[in-house]
Amino acid sequence: MRAELPAFSFLSVVFILLILPGQLKSNNIPAVSIIAWLFVCNLIHGVNAILWANNVDIRASAWCDLAVTAVLLGAMVAVPGAFLCVARQLDLMTTRTDTGLKPEQRHKKPFEILMCIVLPVVYIALRNFFPTSLTPSLR
């Protein structure tokens, strides 16, 4: 087994957890969402590297099929959505208006919750209920 694969995954988990307290204090939903999704993905990849080291035997089918695949697919939706929210925050900070609170800022938190949490969970649920309609066909 290559020792680098699980080592770098678990090292990434530790580094991600080091920046979490500062983001929790700032109440920044997209940053906390990015940290949470990357934490889970790195943890999954580290466990997979240990579980399937030097073999392809099916050992834990429930781990692979149910939990891990759904979470990784949800992360593929959540991380870009969270970065979209970060880009939107940067856009709101750099544009100036003299009228005080911009109309876009009123709906900032619900949009962030929708893009970072609700949309990935809906995607995971749709993937579990309709597995053939959301997965690409390899014809």
pLDDT digits (tens, 9 = 90+) for 10-30: 999 999 999 999 888 888 999
The tens digit of pLDDT for each residue in 29-69 reads 999 999 999 999 999 988 888 887 777 777 666 666 667 88
CA 48: distance to chain centroid?
17
Backbone angles phi, psi at 102, to 5 degrees: -80, 150
Q: Where are the alpha helices (DSSP H) in 1-139?
A: 4-26, 29-51, 61-62, 69-94, 103-106, 108-113, 119-129, 131-134
State the pTM of this model: 0.81
Average of per-residue pLDDT across 85-109: 77
Q: Tokens representing 42?
A: 């790195």
The label of the residue with tokens 């997979």 reads: 48
- Pick the residue with more confidence: 90 or 99? 90
3-class secondary structure, 85: helix
32 vs 106: CA distance, rounded Å? 20
117 vs 132: CA distance, rounded Å? 23
**Averaged pLDDT score across all residues of the chain:** 83
Contact partners, residue 113, CB within 8 Å, separation at least 6: 29
**What is the pLDDT at residue 83?**
96
